[in-house]
Amino acid sequence: MKGSEAIIKSLMEEGVKHMFGIPGGQIMEVYDVLYNTDPGDLKHFLMRHEQCAAHAAEGYARASGKVGVCIATSGPGATNLVTGIADAYMDSVPVVALTGNVPTHLIGNDAFQEADIVGITMPITKHNFQLTDPEDIPSTFRAAFKIATTRRPGPVLIDLPRDVQTNTLKKFVYPKDVELPGYKVVENGGHPMQIKKASELLMNAERPVIITGGGVVISNGASGELMNLSESLGIPVTTTLMGKGCFPEDHPLSLGMLGMHGRKVANLMVAESDVVLAVGCRFSDRITGNLQYFAPNARIIHADIDSAEIGKSVRVDVPIVGDARLIFKNLNKAVGKLKRKGDTEWHIRLKKYKKEFGIQWESWEGQTPIKQQKVMKELNKIVGDEVIVTTEVGQCQMFAAHYLHIKNPRHFISSGGLGTMGFGFPAAIGAKVAMPDHAVIDVGSEGSFLMTSQDLATCVIEDIPVVSIIMQNRYLGMVKQWQDLFYGKRRSHTYLGEVPDFVKYAESFSAKGIRVEKPGEIHDAVRQAIKSGKPYVIDIIVDPEEHILPMVRPGGKMHEMIEKI
C-alpha cells in the first residue's frame, strides 16, 4: 500500500465522511487516490480558497461535534489554511489539517512552493506532525484525531512530504489507541472537595449568576445538566459569544450574552452578584472589561477543562478542573433535591431589569432604511430547532449575538477569539454539509462576506443550499462605529462604495439573489430562500448610520455601557 492510500484509509478508519480542500503539486498523490474513492465512503468538497476549506472544516466540527478535515498543498496552499487553523485554535475547535510538502530530501532547501508549515503553525495548533516514514501514517493519524478531540479540543496539523505519499508501507495496521507521553485522557468531573465548596457557595448565595462559555457547548450533554442546576437553585444564566445557545435564550432565567456588546441586564446582574459560577469560559477582555471592576463583590468559582485558564485573567476563589458536563452533573448531585421557594429579591431585580432594559422591538418597526434590529426580529420568527445560524464578523455579528434568541447548542456558530472576517459563509458551508437536514443561514454584511464569497461557486457546483443574508450598509461597520465613538467621526478608509450589485453577483455564480428594501419584505424573502433548496443571497439595504448599542468602551467597566452616540 502506498502512503497516499494509507492516508485515505486512515481517514476512513477515523470515520471521516467529508473533507474540504484544493489539490496542488505536492498533494496530488492523495488526490489521485480520492479519484477512485466512493463519495459515499469519503466525499471531498473542492473549495475555491484554502482559507474557506479551513473555515468549512470549523463549521462542520462546530455544527456536528465531529472532527472537521481540510487539505491543501504545500507553500501557499498550506499558508492559506493558517487563518482558519488559528481561528480553530482560539475557539477550541477539533480540526485536522493535512498539508502536502516537498520531498523530505528537499526540505530546508527553499524548493519550489516550500514553506515551513510546521514552524508556522506551531503556536496555533494543539500539536503538529511532519511525517518522514510512511510506516508511521496509521499511528500518526490516530494520534492526531485523539489529540484534536480530547481534553480541550483544538486543531492538529499533519504535514505530508511527497515521498511519504509515494513510498510504500510493509503493512497497514490501524491502532485502536496510541499512548502519548505526557498526554493522558481521563474523565474528570472536578475534585470532590472543590465541588462541595462550590455547591455550598451557590446554595448560600443571595445573588448568584452562572456564566457559560464555549466549553459548555463543546461538552455534549452539558446543557441539560446546566438547566437542572439553574432551575433547582433559581440561578440566572448568561453566556459568552461562544456559549450562545447552551442555555435557551427564551427561558425566564436567561440573561442573554454579556460583555462589550452584551445585554445590559446581563452586565448589571454580573456586576451586582455575590457568587459567580463560570464554566467553560476563559474570561476574555471582551466579557470582563476593566478587571478591577468585574464582579467586584462576588466569590468566583471557575470551572474549566484547561487548568491553564483558571486564574489567568480573573481572581478565583474556587478553582475546578474538569469537563463541563461532569462538573454540572456533580454539582447537581451535591445540591440534591433542593429547590428554590418562590422569587427572591434577586429574581425581583432580574424582572425589573428585564422590563427596564429589555429590547424595545417596536422602536425599529417600519423604518426605512431598514434597521438591523428589525432584521433580527424577523429572523427570530424563523430561527428554531431546525435552523443553524453562522455569522460574519463585525457589526452584523454583534447584532446577531445581541438580538437573536438561540435555544440549542451548536446552533450559533461565530468566530470568537480571532474575530475572523470572512468566517461565516464558509463555516455555513461546512455546517450544512454536516447537518443537511437543517437550514443554515449566514448573517453577514458585505465587508466580511466579500472576503470569502468566491465559494458561492462551491455551493452551486456541490449543491449546498446555504442562505447568505447581507445587511448592506456599504461600510466596514464595526470600524466605522469605533471611529464615530472614539475618533471624532473621522471615517478613515471604511467606506466600501456602491459595488457590487449583490443580486447580480449571486446570479453570476448561478446562485439565487434577491434585494430587500422594505421591512415587510424580510420574512418572506428568508422563507423563500430556505424553501428554494438553492444557494441564496439576500441583499438587505440597512441603515448605514445605525450602531450596535449598548456597548462598553474598551477597558471600561462592564456595567457602564454607551447607550447612544
pLDDT digits (tens, 9 = 90+) for 485-497: 999 999 999 999 9
pLDDT tens-digit map of 286-311: 999 999 999 999 999 999 999 999 99
- CA distances, 140 to each of 122, 284, 451 (Å): 17, 33, 34
pLDDT at 338: 79
Task: Say yes or no: domain 3-166 is CATH 3.40.50.970.
Answer: yes
Say if CB 480 and CB 498 are below 8 A apart: no
Give the sheet arrangement for strand 237-239, strand by strand.
Answer: 254-257, 237-239, 208-212, 275-279, 299-304, 318-321
pLDDT digits (tens, 9 = 90+) for 421-456: 999 999 999 999 999 999 999 999 999 999 999 999
For the chain, what is the mean pLDDT?
97
> Is residue 246 within 8 Å of residue 256, measured between CB atoms?
no
Nearest-5° Cα angle at 245, 480 to 95: 80
SS3 62: helix
Which residue is it, cell 452562572?
A: 210
Q: Are 106 and 166 a contacting pair, CB within 8 Å?
A: no
3-state percent breakdown (helix, strand, coil) of the chain, nearest 5: 40, 20, 40
Residues 6+ apart with CB under 8 A from 457: 48, 509
- In 167-289, alpha helices (H): 192-204, 214-218, 222-233, 264-271, 285-288
Strand-strand pairing, 467-472 and 536-541: parallel
Domain 361-541, CATH among 3.55.10.10, 3.20.20.70, 3.40.50.1820, 3.40.50.970: 3.40.50.970
pLDDT at 16: 98
103-159, pLDDT tens digit by residue? 999 999 999 999 999 999 999 999 999 999 999 999 999 999 999 999 999 999 999
Residue 284 cell numbers, joined: 476574555
- Which one is predicted more confidently, 289 or 339? 289
The 3-state secondary structure of 501-542, one letter per residue: CHHHHHHHCCCEEEEECCHHHHHHHHHHHHHHCCCEEEEEEE
pLDDT at 341 over 90: no
pLDDT above 90 for 363: no
The model's confidence at residue 245, banded by pLDDT at 50, 70 and 90, is very high
Closest C-alpha to 95, from 60, 123, 129: 60
Instruction: Confirm whether 3-166 and 192-356 share one CATH topology.
Output: yes
pLDDT of residue 251: 97
User: What angle (nearest 5°) sits at the alpha carbon of residue 335, between those of residues 332 and 337?
Assistant: 90
Query: Which residue stretches of 341-465 are H helix?
Result: 345-357, 372-380, 395-403, 424-434, 446-449, 456-462
What per-residue confidence (pLDDT) applies to 29? 98
Let me know: does 61 contact 433? Beta carbons within 8 Å: no
- Homologous superfamily (CATH) of 192-356 is TPP-binding domain (3.40.50.1220)
What's residue 347's pLDDT?
Answer: 96
**pLDDT digits over 499-550, tens only?**
999 999 999 999 999 999 999 999 999 999 999 999 999 999 999 999 999 9
Q: At 344, is the secondary structure helix, strand, or coil?
A: coil
Tell me the three state secondary structure of residue 471. Answer: strand
Neighbour tally for 563: CB within 10 Å:
10
- CB 503 within 8 Å of CB 529: no
pLDDT score for 340? 74
Over residues 279-291, the pLDDT tens digits come to 999 999 999 999 9
Integer CA distances (angstroms), 419 to 86, 87, 123, 424, in order: 10, 8, 17, 11
Question: For residues 23 and 98, what is the distance between their CA atoms, to the nearest angstrom?
Answer: 11
Domain map (residue ranges) of the chain = 3-166, 192-356, 361-541
Q: Is residue 55 within 8 Å of 422, Cβ to Cβ? A: yes
